[in-house]
Amino acid sequence: MTALRRLRHPVLSLALMATVLFLIAFFLLPTGRLLILSVLNRAGEPTMDHYARLFSSPVYVQVLLNTVRISLITAALSTVLGFPVAYFLANARPGLRRVALFLVLLPFWTSFLVRAFGWMILLGRHGAINSTLMWIGFDGPYDLMFNEAAVLVGMVHAMLPIAILAIYGVLDNIDPRLPRVAQTFGARPGSAFWVVYLPLAAPGIAAAALLVFIASLGFFVIPALLGSPSNMMISQVVIFHADEMSDWGFGGAIGVMLLVTSVLIFLLFERLVGAQVLFSDASLSSGTEGRHPPGPGRPRRLLTAIGRISDLFVAALELMLRALPSGQRRAVRHLLGALLPALLIAFLILPILFVIPIAFSRTEFVVWPPVGFTVDWFGEVMRSPIWRSAAWRSVSVAVATATLSVLLALPLAIQLTRHPFRFRGGFMALLMAPMIFPHIIIALGLYYFFARLGIIGTSFALVMGHTLFALPFATLTLLAAFKRYDWRIDQAASVSGAKPLTVMRLITLPLVSAALGSAFLLAFVRSFDELTVALFISGGLTTTLPKQMWTESLTQFTPALTAVSVLFLAFVSTLILAGEGILKARR
C-alpha cells in the first residue's frame, strides 16, 4: 500500500517542498527581515527612532496621507468604471468578447511605463491635447500635467484593467439566465439587475477594489512621471532612500506602514467576502463553502430602492424608444448598452497608441503633431549597446523565470487538485501573498537580502525576484486547467498499462498543453514587464528593458524612448495573440 503511495508522490512533494523553501528564502525571510530592521538601530538595538522620524516630519505624514487618498480614489474610480466593461465582457457574443478581451488584456500586459508615456504625449505642454486646443483657438498651453488630476487619470488608466479582470472573473460565473428568471417572477429589468445580479457580483467588485487599492499603495511610476513633488507617493520616498544604502531601518518603517494598511484592508475584505475570490480558484473554497456572497440581507432595502428608481429610468427610455420602428429600437438598445464599455475601452487603448506616431517623428523632442517621417529612432535604439543588452537581459531573465515558474507550477497544480494536503489553505495564502503584497516592500527586502549575499545585479537574483510574482499567475492558470481536468482519463491510461511517467507524457501534458503555454506566456510577460524589483536589484550593465526605460524617462523623454515603447508594445501584443492562437488551436 505504501509502495503505491510512494510511486505517485515523490516529484509532487519535492516541488511542494521546493516552493515552500523558495518562498521562505526569497519572500518571508527578506521581507520579514526588512520589517524587523524598522525597529532596530544601526547597532542592532531595539528602537522606535525610524517611526519617530517618519511621523515627526510633516512631509512624510503628508506623503502617507496623500498615498492613501490617491489609492482610495483610484480604487473607487477603477471599480465603478471597470464594472460596465466587465459586464459587457461577460454578456457579449463570443466573437465580440474575444476582441474586447484582447483590448483589455493588451493594456493589462503593457508596461506601466509605456502607458505613462502615452499620457505624457497627451498631456504635455506641447502635447496632443494642448496643441489641439490651441489649433482650435484656445490660449494655451495649459498645465495639464504635474498635478493631482493627471496622477489620478494615469493611475485609473493603469489600474482599470486589473479591476475589469477581477470583476469579469466573477461575472463570468454568474448564470446569465438569473436576471431573466427574476423578470419572469415579476421583477422589472432594473430591479432584476440591482436585486439579483449585483449581489452576486459583489465579491468581484470587492476584490477589484481591494486589488487596485493595494497595488496603488505601492505604485510609483505614474506619480513620478505625471505628478509634481506635492503629489508624491510613499514608494517614491522608499526608492529615494534606498539609494542612500544606509537607511534600511527607515525604509523598513515605511514598509511596515504600507503593510499594516494593506493587511487591515485585506482583513476587512476577508471578513466581508472571503479571500478565495481573489484567487479565482473555487476548489480552494471547498472547505469554506458555507460562506455565501453577501446576499440580499441588510443592503436589500437599499438595492430594492435603487432598483425601483432604475426601473423608472428604463421605463422612460423605453417610452422614448417607442417612437422608433422595432428594428431600429433594438439597434439603439444595443448601441446604448455598448456605448459606455466602448468609451472606456477607448480610454484604455487610445493613450497607448499615441506613442506610435511620435516614434516616427523627425523632431529631437516629443512634440505634437509629429513632424515628418523617419525610422531613425528605431535604428538608433537597435544599434545602441545599452538597449540591446537591456533587451537581451530582459528576454533571457523572462525565459528563465517563465521556465522555472512552469516547472514549479505544474507539479504544484497537480498536487493541489489531486492530493489535497492539510496545510493547503495556508500554502495557497503564502504562494499568493507576493501578488497581493505591495511590490515595493518585497523589492526592498530582496535588495537588502541580495546585497548581503553580494549578488545584486546578477541574473539569478532577478529571476528569483521575478519568479515570486510570476509563480502565482502560472499556478492559477494551471490550477484552472486541472480543476476542469477529468482524472479518469489518466486512470484509464494507467489501467490500460501506461506507467505514471508515460501517462504524464502521452495523456496529461498533451491535454493541458494550452494551459502550459499560457502559464509560460503569463510568467514571461510578468517578468519581462517587471520594474519594481528590477529597479532595486539590477543596474549598470545588467539593466533590464523596463529599468532602462525608467532611467531614461527620468532624464529626458525622447522619441527614442517612444521607439522602444513601440517595439515593446509590438512584442507583447504578438505574445498575447500567439497565446490566443494556441488556445484557439487547442479548442
CB–CB of 278/167 below 8 Å? no
Residue 585 sits in the site that holds other proteins (CB under 8 A): no
**Residue of 94, 495, 540, 555 that binds other proteins (CB under 8 A):** 495
CB of 497 to other proteins, least distance (A): 4
Nearer to other proteins, 8 or 334 (CB): 8
Q: At 130, phi and psi to the nearest 5?
A: -60, -45
The nearer residue to other proteins, 301 or 488, going by C-beta atoms, is 488
Residue 412 CB, shortest distance to other proteins, in Å, is: 23
Residue type, 345: I
- Per rule CB under 8 A, is residue 584 in the interface with other proteins? no
DSSP 280: T
Q: Which of residues 433-492 bind other proteins (CB under 8 A)?
A: 486, 488-489, 491-492
- Which lies closer to other proteins via its Cβ, residue 230 or residue 502? 502
What residue type is 573 in one-letter code? S
Give least dist CB 1 to other proteins, A: 5
Cβ nearer to other proteins, comparing 77 with 503: 503
Decide whether 229 or 581 has the Cβ nearer to other proteins. Answer: 581
Q: Judged by CB, which is closer to other proteins: 298, or 488? A: 488
What counts of helices (H) and strands (E) characterise the chain?
30, 0
Q: Minimum distance from CB of 410 to other proteins (Å)?
A: 18
Q: Does 10 bind other proteins (CB under 8 A)?
A: no
Task: Please report how close the Cβ of residue 509 comes to other proteins at its closest, in angstroms.
Answer: 10
The grid coordinates of residue 311 equal 426601473
CB of 5 to other proteins, least distance (A): 7
511 near other proteins (CB under 8 A): yes
Of 1, 43, 319, 323, the one binding other proteins by CB under 8 A: 1
> Nearest to residue 511, comparing CAs of 439, 414, 394, 392?
414
CB 569 within 8 A of CB 386: no
Shortest distance in whole angstroms from residue 168 CB to other proteins: 28
In the set 330, 499, 505, 584, which binds other proteins (CB under 8 A)? 499
User: Which residue intervals of 485-511 are DSSP H helices?
Assistant: 487-495, 500-503, 509-511
The DSSP call for residue 142 is -
CA distances from 143 to 124, 152, 260, 305, 554 (A): 8, 15, 36, 43, 19
Please identify, using beta-carbon distances, which residue of 4 and 43 lies nearer to other proteins: 4
- Helix/strand/coil for 323: coil
Nearest to 21 by CA among 436, 463, 408, 459: 408
Segment interacting with other proteins, rule: CB under 8 A, options 121-129, 168-176, 411-419, 496-504: 496-504
Binding to other proteins, residues 281-340 (CB under 8 A): none
Using CB atoms within 10 A of its CB, is residue 573 exposed (0-12), middle (13-18) or buried (19+)?
middle
How many positions of this chain bind other proteins (CB under 8 A)? 23
> Which region among 216-224, 365-373, 504-512, 543-551 touches other proteins (by CB under 8 A)?
504-512
Query: Which range of residues in 174-182, 244-252, 465-473, 498-506 is near other proteins by CB under 8 A?
Result: 498-506
Cis peptide bond prior to 199, omega within 30° of 0: no
- At its nearest, how many Å lie between other proteins and the CB of residue 501? 10
Nearer to other proteins, 9 or 33 (CB): 9
Grid cell, residue 130, equals 494642448
Return the bridge partners of 40, or none: 46
Nearest-approach distance from CB 411 to other proteins, in angstroms? 19
Binding string, residues 207-246; x marks residues near other proteins by CB under 8 A: ----------------------------------------
Three-state SS at 370: coil
Closest approach of other proteins to the CB of residue 481, in Å:
14
Residue with smaller CB distance to other proteins, 383 or 488: 488
46, β-bridge pairs: 40
- List Cβ neighbours of 398 (8 Å cut-off, separation of 6 or more): 466, 523, 524, 525, 527, 528
Count Cβ atoms below 10 Å from residue 339 Cβ, excluding itself.
11
**Which of 132, 304, 363, 494 lies at the binding interface for other proteins (CB under 8 A)?**
494
Least distance from C-beta 515 to other proteins, angstroms?
14
CB burial of residue 465 (10 Å; 0-12, 13-18, 19+): buried
Check residue 139 for interaction with other proteins (CB under 8 A): no
The DSSP line for 369-424 is: S--S---HHHHHHHH-HHHHHHHHHHHHHHHHHHHHHHHHHHHHHHHHHHS--TTH
Nearer to other proteins among residue 6 and residue 93 (C-beta) = 6
Residue type, 558: T
Residue 498 Cβ, how far from other proteins at the closest point, in Å?
Answer: 5
> Grid coordinates in use for 204?
468581484
Which residue's CB is nearer to other proteins, number 491 or number 556? 491
Q: Give the integer Cα–Cα distance in Å for 486 and 103.
A: 32
At what angle are helices 559-586 and 376-383 packed, to 10 degrees? 80
Candidates 12, 358, 493, 522; binder of other proteins (CB under 8 A) is 493
Q: Is 510 in the site for other proteins (CB under 8 A)?
A: yes
The answer to whether 426 and 23 have CB atoms below 8 angstroms apart is no
| Binding test (CB under 8 A) with other proteins, winner from 40, 451, 498, 575 | 498
Tell me whether residue 7 or residue 24 sits nearer to other proteins (CB atom).
Answer: 7
The DSSP call for residue 324 is: S
Rule CB under 8 A: say whether 4 interacts with other proteins: yes
For other proteins, which residue of 502, 505, 556, 581 counts as binding (CB under 8 A)? 502
CA dihedral 251, 256, 261, 265 (to 10 degrees): 130
- Could you give the C-alpha distances from 191 to 90, 319, 510, in angstroms and in order? 19, 18, 47
Closest to other proteins by CB, 41 vs 502, is 502
Instruction: Identify which of residues 317 and 506 has a Cβ nearer to other proteins in the complex.
Output: 506
Whole-number Å distance between alpha carbons of 456 and 537? 5
As a whole number of angstroms, the distance between CA 241 and CA 196 comes to: 50
- Residues contributing to the site for other proteins (CB under 8 A): 1, 3-5, 7, 486, 488-489, 491-500, 502-503, 507, 510-511
